[in-house]
Structure 1
Amino acid sequence: MNIKQFEYKPLSHYSYAIISEGKMAVIDPERDPQQYYDFAKANNADIVAVFETHPHADFVSSHLQIHKETGAKIYISKKLGAEYPHETFDEGNSLTLGKIQISPLNTPGHSPDSITIVAKYKEEIALFTGDTLFIGDVGRPDLREKAGNITAEREELAEMMFETVTQKFTDLPNEAIIFPAHGAGSLCGKNLSDAATSTLGDERKHNWAFKKQSREEFMETILDGQPIIPAYFVFNVDINKGGAKNVKDSLANIPFNENSSVEGLIVDVRAEEKFKNGHLKGSINIQASTDTQKFETWLGTIIKPEEKFTLVVDSKEDKVQMLNRIAKIGYETMVKEVITLPKENLNTTEKLDLEDFKNHPENYTIVDIRNQTETNEGKFFKNALTHPLSDLRDTATQIPTDKPIVVHCAGGYRSAAGSSILQNKLPGATVFDLGDDVENFK
C-alpha cells in the first residue's frame, strides 16, 4: 500500500493519504488541504474519499473543503450526526480503493462516534485509529461531555474504551500497522509515544491499555491525571460536525495595518525578547516564533472562542503564516485585525536580577503556572503558588502583590505568556518572567 503520513508538529497531528491505482483517500485531514492536493498530483491520483475517524477537538479538519473542491465523498459514522453531505461508514460497510479493501470498526471511547479505518491489501493491514489507539496510550475519554451530536460522561466513555480495547482488535493480526492521529505532545491523551507508527503486536506487549486488568482498574487508570481541556476543544468539535469554511476564503478579508496602536485584547506572537523590549499595553505574549512552538494549543487555551482580539506580528511577511496557524483551530474568525507595532510609546518588561532571586527567594512571590498534573509531581520552589496558565486570566487577582512576582513554568515558553497576563491583570505590581532560567532550579 502506498501510504503517506503528514505531520503538523505544533499540534502533534498526523493525517494520511492512501493511493491505489490512481485513486486516493485522505484520513483526518488538517485545515489546509493543499498538501494533499500536491501529493495527489505528484502521484497522478484523484482524491475520491475522505475519512473522518471522529469530529476532532484539537484541530479543524478540511474534509468539507476537499469534498467541495474534488467531489470526494466523506465517510463517517452515522453516530456523528454530521451536517454536511456524507456517506455513513460503520461496521458492515466497506469500499474498494483501487486494489485496497477499506472497512470500519466502531471503536468508541475517546468519543461515542469514533471509528477505526481498516485498510487491507493482500497480507498487509493498516489501522488508522484516529484518537482511539495511540502509540503507548489510548485516547482520553473526557472531551465529549459538552460537545457533539452525542454527549457522554467520562465514566461512560472510559467503559466504552475498555470494551473497544478488549474486543474490537482481537481478530486482527500482530503485524497490522497502527497509524494514529496524534503523537507525543497532543492533549488528546496523556502518555503518547513520540513514535509515529507501531504494530498491533507491539501495542499488545507494551501499551498499558492492553495489559490484563479489570474493568475497574482500566477505568481508574484512564480517568486519572488527564491533561487540561483547552477552551477551544468544544468549539472545534462543533466546527468539524458542521464542516469548516474554505480556509483561503475565511482568511481573505482580515485587515492588516502597519505601525499601529490599538487597545483591548491583544495577542502578540513575537519572540519573548522582542516582546519584553516593547509591546502594547494589554498584550499577551503567546509566542509563535518557531514552527514547533505549541502556539495553537496555548492560543486556544488562554483565549476563549468568543473573544475577539488583535494579532501583533513582527512584519508584514509574517501575516499569512500566522493566520494560517490560527486557522488550524478555527480562530481566524476572532481576529479583528493584524498589525505591526510603532517604534515609540511601547511598554517594556523589567528583567529579573537572577542573583538576588537565587539568594533571597523569600523576597518574591513565586507563581508556578504549570498544569496541576505537573505540580502534583513536585514543585521547583517550596513556597510557590500554583496558578495553571489555563486558568490564570481568571485567578490572577488572587495573587498577592506586596512583593515582586516571579512567574515560572517548566521550560520558559509558557512563563512568557503567564507574566504578560499578570502584568495586565495586576496593575502596579512588579512582574518578572523567570523564563528558561528555571532550568537552574530543577
Structure 2
Amino acid sequence: MKKLNYPEIADAQIIDIRSQLAFQNGHAKGSLNLTAKNFKKYAGDFLSQDQPLAFVVGEETPDEIAELEIIAREMGYAHLAGYLVIDEIPKETIQHSDTITAADFLKKESDFILLDVRHPDEITRPAPEKNLINIALEDLAANYQDLAKNKDVYTLCGSGNRGTTAASYLETKGFQPIIIEGGMKAIQETMNP
C-alpha cells in the first residue's frame, strides 16, 4: 500500500486505525475510527466497496500496514488509495472528539439520547434507562436516522472502543456525539464503587 499526501485522501473513505484514545485526541475530519483489531468485523457495515479507502496510522509500521492491506483485499476492497501518518495531516484540519466521564454523564438532567451500541445478546450490565436507545454497532449505518439530530447523543459500549467508532460514524452524518469515557464498565464502577 502506498504512502499518501494529505490532498490525496480527499475522495477516499478515511479509516483511522489508531486506538480510541488516540482518535479522540485528534483525527482527520470525516474519518471513521476502526482499529486494526475491529476493522474486519465492522468495515462491511460502514464502508462502500466502490469508493477508495485511505488509512490513517499513528506511525509507519510496515507489518501492520501490510496486514491491513491483506485483510481489506480479502474483504473485497479492491480500491486501496493508501495510508497517511496522522502527524502529516495539517493541524488546522484535525478535530477532537467530545467525551464525558461516567460520573459527569450520570449527573445529566437535560434531554439527550443515550445510544448503547452493544449487541443485545452481549448486554450483561444494563445501561441506565433514561433516554436509552440500543442500536448495535453493526446496525448503526442502517438505523442512525432514528436518532434526533437536535439532541445530544452520548455513545456507550462496554469499554469505549465501539462507542468511539459509533461517534466517529455519527460525526460523518452531521451529529455531534459525545463519547462516554470507559463505557459501561466506567458507569458501573461509578454507580457501584
2:178 aligned residue: 432
What is residue 39 of structure 1 aligned with on the other side? none
Aligned pairs for 1:14-163 within 5 A:
none
Deviations 1:245-282 (CA, angstroms, capped at 9, x unpaired): xxxxxxxxx32125x24334211001222212221111
Aligned mate of 1:381, from 128, 134, 137: 128
Distance (Å, rounded) in 1 between the aligned partners of 2:78 and 2:181: 31
Which deviates further from its counterpart, 305-314 or 264-273? 305-314
Q: Provide the TM-score with structure 2 as the length reference.
A: 0.79
* 1:296 maps to 2:40: yes
Give the 3 Å change call, closer, same or farther, for CA 303–372 of structure 1 in structure 2: farther
- Contact 1:296 1:325 survives alignment (8 Å): no
* 2:70 aligned to which of 327, 345, 365: 327
2:87 paired with 1:339:
no
Equivalent runs, 1:139-288 vs 2, <5 Å: 254-258=1-5, 260-261=6-7, 262-263=9-10, 264-288=12-36
Q: After superposition, give the CA deviation of every residue in 1:351-402 in whole Å (9 maximum; x if it has no partner).
A: 3254331112554211011124235x67412131122211212322220122
TM-score by length of 1: 0.37
Give the Cα separation in 2 of the matches to 1:411 and 1:300.
22
If asked which structure has higher relative contact order (CA below 8 Å, sep 6+), I would say: 2
Larger radius of gyration: 1
Aligned-residue CA RMSD in angstroms?
2.5
In 1, Cα distance between equivalents of 2:91 and 2:27: 10
Cα distance change of structure 1 residues 304 and 372 upon mapping to structure 2, 3 Å threshold: farther
What residue in structure 2 maps to residue 403 of structure 1? 151
SS in 1 for 2:122: helix
Give me the whole-angstrom Cα distance separating, in 2, the residues matched to 1:269 and 1:275: 8
SS at match of 1:256: coil
Partner of 1:78: none
Number of aligned residue pairs: 180
Q: Are 1:311 and 2:58 an aligned pair? A: no
Gaps of 5+ in 2: 189-193
- Contact (CA 8 Å) 2:20, 2:160: kept in 1 or not? no
Report the Cα offset of residue 343 of structure 1. 4.3
Summarize the Cα distance change of 1:381–1:361 in structure 2 as closer, same or farther, 3 Å threshold.
farther
2:32 counterpart letter in structure 1: I
What is the distance in 2 between the residues matched to 1:284 and 1:340? 15
Give the number of the structure whose residues are more often helix, by fraction.
2
Separation in 2, partners of 1:335, 1:361: 45
Distance 1:323 1:361 in 2: 47
Change in 2 beyond 3 A, CA 1:353/1:265: same
Given that 2:49 and 2:78 are in contact with CA atoms closer than 8 Å, whether structure 1 keeps it comes out as no
Deviation of 1:430 after TM superposition, in Å, equals 2.8
Structure 1 contact 313–339 (Cα < 8 Å) conserved = yes
- Residue 138 of structure 2 aligns with an amino acid whose one-letter code is S
Give the 3 Å change call, closer, same or farther, for CA 441–399 of structure 1 in structure 2: same
Q: Which residue of 2 aligns with 1:368?
A: 116
Identity percentage over the alignment? 18
